[in-house]
């Protein structure tokens, strides 16, 4: 149960607070590839062709950055959830052990 105040804490099963990291929001997707003033290969002006290639490289670079950031964020979330699941299993196992000791 996340805190309603928006801080980075969460109630633990034992009633204590636990730090919950605030994951950054996904980066905005890159802008679409700019449209050339001339069709690819149709221009006689090398400057236009160079500019088109430069725009494509910049676009590809922003796409790589975008998807890298998305993957890094997903890995962080997965690591956090994995820790929470492992912690829950540990608490469940220790509770089961305590119940067995009490019963017999």
Residue 13 above 60 pLDDT?
Answer: no
d(CA 35, CA 46): 16
Q: What is the pLDDT of residue 19?
A: 61
Q: What is the pLDDT of residue 104?
A: 58
d(CA 32, CA 55): 10
d(CA 72, CA 63): 14
Alpha helices in the chain (DSSP H): 46-103
Name 23's Cβ contacts closer than 8 Å, sequence gap at least 6: 73, 76, 77, 80
d(CA 55, CA 48): 10
Give me Rg for the CA atoms of the chain: 26
Closest-CA residue to 64 (of 75, 56, 54, 53): 56
Q: What is the pLDDT of residues 64-77, one digit of tens each?
A: 999 999 999 999 99
Q: What is the pLDDT of residues 15-36, one digit of tens each?
A: 555 566 666 666 677 777 666 6
């Amino acid at each position: 149960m996340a805190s309603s105040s928006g801080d980075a804490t969460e109630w633990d099963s034992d009633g204590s607070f636990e730090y919950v990291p605030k994951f950054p929001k996904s980066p905005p997707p890159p802008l679409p590839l700019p449209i050339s003033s001339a069709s690819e290969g149709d221009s006689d002006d090398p400057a236009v062709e160079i500019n088109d290639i430069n725009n494509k490289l910049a676009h590809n670079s922003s796409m790589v950055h975008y998807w890298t950031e998305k993957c890094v964020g997903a890995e962080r979330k997965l690591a956090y959830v994995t820790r929470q699941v492992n912690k829950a299993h540990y608490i469940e196992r220790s509770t089961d052990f305590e119940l067995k000791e009490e019963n017999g």
